[in-house]
Structure 1
Amino acid sequence: MNVNSADLASQKPLESPAKVPAHQHVYERVRKLILFGDLAPGQAVTIQGLAETLDAGMTPVREALRRLIAEGALVHQGNRRVSVPVLDLEGVNELEFMRKTLEAELAQRATSRMT
């Protein structure tokens, strides 16, 4: 079957899935680097370094870093320095408390749904 340009022009364009904004994509990638330990606690993070590593623009990296700092996943140390936070004893105790509280509640809910 031959398709000419008039046939193509009359067709509706294929709908593509919504594109993820660049800063969102960079945010997700940096977040994974932190969660999986590829960025170690205490490690300095630079906009330029991440832009090169992730093959991304400086603006999306900057926006992702702002969001991660606001969430506490990164720490702004002044003088434009950003690093991965180091988990201290207080943080470990807080995580332990949250896990004990949540896991007990989740186990109770799960048992009520068992067959």
Structure 2
Amino acid sequence: MKLGDFDTITSNNAKEAMKMVEENYQDIALILLDVMMPGRSGLAVLESIKNEERYKDILVVLFTVKSFNEDIQKGKRLGADGYITKPFSGKDLLKIVKTMVSEKSVER
């Protein structure tokens, strides 16, 4: 699947997401995580990613419902690089991804 010029991979649950990260981390610039995921929360996945040294360069953006402000705050404490609130359009998502990836490239 493509998002603008970006190649994407998707998963249906937290376990699958972590497996994809483990297998592809060297090629991943950004992970978009739903806070509400089957199996484990996106916050738990975020914590696992941010606690692993080999994943330190991967940006993680959470998405959540606007009313879940405490999830956003917890995500920030766990190291989320950003968040987007649902609902959002593909255009909004692409803008966020482009901005974050280009800022990451400038930092290197």
Instruction: Give TM class, smaller chain.
Output: under 0.3
More helix per residue:
1
Bigger Rg, structure 1 or 2: 1
More strand per residue:
2
